[in-house]
Amino acid sequence: MKIHEYQAKEIFSRYGIPVTRETVCYTPDEVVAAAEKSGYPCVVKAQVLTGGRGKAGGVKLVKNKEEAREAATSILGMDIKGYTVEKVLLAEGVKFQSEIYVGLTIDRNSKSVILMTSREGGVEIEEVAKENPDAIIKVPIDADLGMQPFLARKIAFRLFDDFNLVKQAADIFQKMYKICLDTDASLVEINPLVITDDNQLLALDGKMNFDENALYRQPEIEKLYEPDENELKEIEAKEKGLSYIKLDGNIGFMVNGAGLAMATMDMIKMYGGEPANFLDVGGSSNPQKVIDAMNLILSDEKVNAIMINIFGGITRGDDIAKGLISALEQLDVKVPIVVRLSGTNAKEGLEILRGTNLTVVESMTEAAKKAIELSAH
């Protein structure tokens, strides 16, 4: 889950990390008023939950009232990668000597939180990683030890010679680590962290992502969630225990397990078909989930055949079959359905499906070929 720059910086500020003075604005009038108060030059920045704002023209430096109004009018309502800009940040203009990158994230390999920092901040860190990987300092943080003052200092000494900057940076590293743990963040990033003309470190930008598995214990963070249209459909599915992503094809899918779902889609594509969706009914099935899944698949009018591929482990074949029978009773299903059922309680499931007009096949390959054939009619 992502939040906006201004929300990330509010959190940083609460923990005592110095950030730019700024105001969130929703209209050009608000932007002008905030700019007049802040003084010029200042910056108008689009607040959208996607990257690449600068390149899209969503960040503008303004030197007077007219420019502020002009920038606000052009940025508000702008489309950036499918996201409409509904709010902007009016931030003070800051003169700086150089830009630093600092990011905390989870590292699969060391199985720990890792701090990454670089003197080459201000550009996308992926670019630095590609062009000049040695410029990035990476330090995994031992979870038992945490971000001790000595460790934060040690990292900061690799960035700066000036002890005044080292102290400031070490303090920021410790605070970022605390934020990461306190909020269950999967990313805490400041890019750039600038050295101002009077030798102070200041966060010019901020970015945070959060672990969705931990939202249940982060009510304050959950309140900040602004799902887009696709996410809303995905959330609705998730509340029912389903994982759903809409795609462009015509063959609807219901599969258990993300890996098998992906492999099923790969196979359909390989044989020349086009998946209409990715749908993982997950483990621990109950018949209601199957009904919900069928509803979701059929909500897409392009679907003209459905392929059900279940290999039961924790998912039980009889649960799936019962759900299918109820779905057929409750819903007006006009498209052909191909079912492949194996694994836990598959025999019981197939027994339940006997006598229905579903096309029951033995293997995944057979199911894929059959579904493509039926969808062509």
Partner 1 sequence: MSILVNKNTRLIVQGITGRDGGFHTAKMKAYGTNVVGGVSPGKGGQTVEGLPVFNTVEEAVKQTGANTSILFVPAPFAADGILEASEAGIELVIAITEGIPTLDMVRIMPYLKKKGTKLIGPNCPGLITPDEALVGILPGNIFKKGNVGLISRSGTLTYEMVNQLTTNGIGQSTCVGIGGDPVAGLYFQDLLEMYQNDPETDAVVLIGEIGGDAEEQAAAFIKNKMTKPVVAFIAGQSAPPGKRMGHAGAIISSGSGTAEEKIAAFEAAGVPVARKPEDIPVLIKRALQYG
**Inter-helix orientation angle 163-183/5-14, to 10°:** 110
Rounded Cα gap, residues 190 and 194, in angstroms: 9
Among the residue ranges 11-19, 59-67, 253-261, 329-337, the one whose residues contact partner 1 (CB under 8 A): 253-261
Residue tagged active-site, from 6, 83, 101, 244? 101
Q: What is the C-alpha separation between 45 and 4, in angstroms, rounded?
A: 11
CA dist 255 → 6, 128, 178, 337 (Å): 40, 40, 40, 13
Q: Rounded to the nearest whole angstrom, what is the least distance from the CB of residue 132 to partner 1 in the complex?
A: 12
Q: What is the C-alpha separation between 16 and 348, in angstroms, rounded?
A: 61
Can you name the residues that pair with 42 across neighbouring β-strands?
Answer: 62, 92
Residues 315-344 that bind partner 1 (CB under 8 A): 315, 342-344
Q: How far is the CB of 186 from partner 1 (least distance, A)?
A: 6
Question: CA of 367: how far to CAs of 219, 306, 371, in Å?
Answer: 44, 10, 6
Question: Which is the catalytic residue, given 6, 83, 189, 244?
Answer: 189
Strands (E), 281-336: 305-312
For the chain, give the number of residues: 377
Binding mask 282-311 for partner 1 (x = CB under 8 A): -xx-------------------------xx
Site string for partner 1, 3-42 (x = CB under 8 A): ----------------------------------------
What tokens appear for 145 in the block? 């030890």
Degrees, nearest 5: CA angle 248-249-250: 135
Among 24, 94, 187, 298, binds partner 1 (CB under 8 A): 187
Does the annotation mark 244 as catalytic?
no
Reading the block at residue 118, the tokens are 């670089």
With CB under 8 A as the contact rule, the residue among 39, 134, 161, 217 that binds partner 1 is 217
Is 189 one of the catalytic residues? yes
Could you list the active site residues? 101, 189
The footprint of partner 1 (CB under 8 A) covers: 51, 103, 105-109, 111-114, 116, 125-126, 129, 133, 136, 138, 142-144, 180-181, 184, 186-187, 189, 207, 209, 211, 213-214, 216-217, 245, 247, 255-260, 262-263, 265-270, 275, 283-284, 310-315, 342-344, 346, 364-365
